[in-house]
Structure 1
């Protein structure tokens, strides 16, 4: 209930202070939303940007169904050679979408957490990249790339358009029934698509594989990577539940790293100077992991 917006009738009936007072006495039953809000506040992260679930902005039956295709998924696999995958993708583009305005979108995230999105329109030589907040996940960056391309389509309004996306998860989210949507960006995408369709535009989403040399996709990928270095950032994107987990994990890892660097026992630090949530030596039993760690710390007696 704490994740609902203020217009929700149940939220209006229950005061926030009541919820916090109740769970302060029941720490073991505290829900994730309250735990995350407290943790983010302790780490000086503004909680006003946390997304609150809201209802569909218009009656769901007014939303036009999105046309999402994944034809190549049945024709290719990861085991296929890249040049064969590229050939299948180019055949699809030339045979079915030669008369459509073609748009390619992509999202990007580097190892440092910087995030961006981009779209390109090869026919019109349009290339647009946007810097996104660091807390945005790669899934959200893919949706944002689609969203900003649709904003451009609202002004241009072509008759036939195909948007090529290399993220299956993003397309599956768009294709899912409207009652399963829990993301404001998806609501916005559906509303723009409905408006364009009622205006006479035909919008098709088509999945294409990434990093196989398809020219438009490679151009969008390059544009997204270049946008990682931009100074101006889109800052109206709320913090979603999945992104909150990432932010909390990064806070914990940074705090752990600081403690690790100031620890008095430096013998293991000389071997492993960076902390990691993953086990460095996989496929070991708990006993062998303990012995390995004791050997690294020089506290294990060998015969």
Structure 2
């Protein structure tokens, strides 16, 4: 069969690997071009090592070795009080290291816990370098404060994203296999074992309605998108309006846009479009400024506002085909929607309705009709645009029913929300035994890492991260790590932890009074924790200075 394609098998580059459970293997003797192919225990295919038992040990060990080399570079980039800022190290980790862990991760999720825990340890090592944490810091505290999900939930999210993409393809062989597998009795064999991740996630997503297509929508066009010259048809700029609306008055924008429309589109048939989304109420509408006709739609599915804006443009183009005129301009106040259509000519994958708009434009060209898509600012008291906006809001409740299935990216929130719920359950469970101090400051994992928004140097950020975790290099945790002979304070004789140093220790009384002269700091037990909830506040910066001075004399 290979020969019929004009190809030959190279015996020097080919290997044989027999995939089977257990240690017993049948003898295999395959001869190609007079040479016997060697039998190997593992083979690399598309960047993934496949071992003969499909336990993924070879792949994970090879991955850990690569990550370890990167972590050695991270170590020379930063220390406690010097080096690269944690927010930049965090981004480096996500782009350089975790991207490698993500590759095919939901496939090797079925590996043994002994293998998967190696990757967890690698991530923990990276988090300690990024945030300057000491070794005793619990992993769930580091993950939460740096806003980096545990790898098990990351694999869950990527599996869900992959399945939604597969569900968006008509007659997907993977979905057919999963449906057949779940409907059979084979699924009962996992009652006492961990289910494969794809099956576990598909159980959650199988009833989700997703827009399906037989092939990529780009191939539905009669010509390649580059031939449409879309840049000449979509106008997303207006001269002298290149700043946020707050920099100009509404009256100025209104007059400027009216003059622009009169000059650029004199003699054009004008139509205004808009979309509206208020919770689960979604509407789209267009307004004919020449005849004062309008149509508004109610969209029942939970799609994005950009999708609703594009649907309004598409319906306006359908309306244009029925009008006996040759020059049209369709106005939209959604710049992102028009930019999305313009990106159809690039390698980026766009929504089906965007390609439908291109197809409609090509069809109108064949009818000798010229159509331009023009962006205009929203809410500037422009009559046609305000009418379209009002109609879209009205249509969200009482418009013509439009059946639209969301694209797979608009369903990703289901997987994201599930991952957030699982992460919170995991965080709550771990916080019962460890990280109790941290939970009083951060009750649940945040959506955005606070280190990305603060204007603090690395030393202060590391001090803040250590204080928030409750694990700082004093005697309590020094004793746990075998650095100090006992966990107690040398002066007070009690356990020397963060709370003792900041609130109780006698030897720090003078410095403490210097930074915090008010009584509330000493009488309110939770005052210190309240301060740490706002790491960039003036009081928090005083805490950092206090800790630095205490550490300098120890």
State the TM-score, normalizing by the size of structure 2. Answer: 0.41
- Paired positions, count: 263
| Corresponding residue for residue 60 of structure 1 | 223
What secondary structure, in the 3-state scheme, does the structure 1 residue paired with 2:312 have? helix
CA RMSD of aligned residues (A): 3.9
Check if 1:189 corresponds to 2:353.
no
Unaligned runs of at least 5 residues, structure 1 = 256-274, 292-297
Does the 8 Å CA contact 1:130/1:227 hold for their aligned counterparts?
Answer: yes
Does the 8 Å CA contact 1:162/1:203 hold for their aligned counterparts?
Answer: yes
Over 3 Å counting, the alpha-carbon distance change for 1:164 and 1:277 in structure 2 is: farther
Check if 1:17 corresponds to 2:177.
yes
| Corresponding residue for residue 82 of structure 1 | 250
For residue 302 of structure 2, the aligned residue among 117, 122, 135 is 135
CA distance in 2, matches of 1:198, 1:92: 28
Aligned-residue offset at 1:218: 0.8
Does the 8 Å CA contact 2:332/2:375 hold for their aligned counterparts?
Answer: yes
CA distance in 1, matches of 2:249, 2:525: 50
Aligned-residue offset at 1:205: 0.8
Unaligned runs of at least 5 residues, structure 2 = 1-164, 182-193, 423-443, 455-460, 471-523, 529-554
If each structure's helix is expressed as a fraction of its own residues, which one has the higher value? 2
Aligned-residue offset at 1:290: 8.5
Higher relative contact order (CA 8 A, sep 6+): 1
Aligned-residue offset at 1:208: 0.5
Which residues of 2 match residues 1-303 of structure 1 at below 5 A?
A: 2-3=166-167, 5-6=169-170, 11=172, 16-17=176-177, 27=197, 30=198, 37-41=202-206, 46-52=207-213, 54-55=215-216, 56-61=219-224, 64-66=228-230, 67-72=233-238, 75-78=241-244, 79-110=247-278, 112-176=279-343, 177=345, 179-230=347-398, 232-235=400-403, 237-248=404-415, 300=526
Over 3 Å counting, the alpha-carbon distance change for 1:253 and 1:25 in structure 2 is: closer
The structure number with the bigger radius of gyration is: 2
What secondary structure, in the 3-state scheme, does the structure 1 residue paired with 2:224 have? helix
CA distance in 1, matches of 2:239, 2:419: 38
Does the 8 Å CA contact 1:2/1:16 hold for their aligned counterparts?
Answer: no
What secondary structure, in the 3-state scheme, does the structure 2 residue paired with 1:229 have? helix
CA distance in 2, matches of 1:114, 1:250: 20
Over 3 Å counting, the alpha-carbon distance change for 1:215 and 1:84 in structure 2 is: same
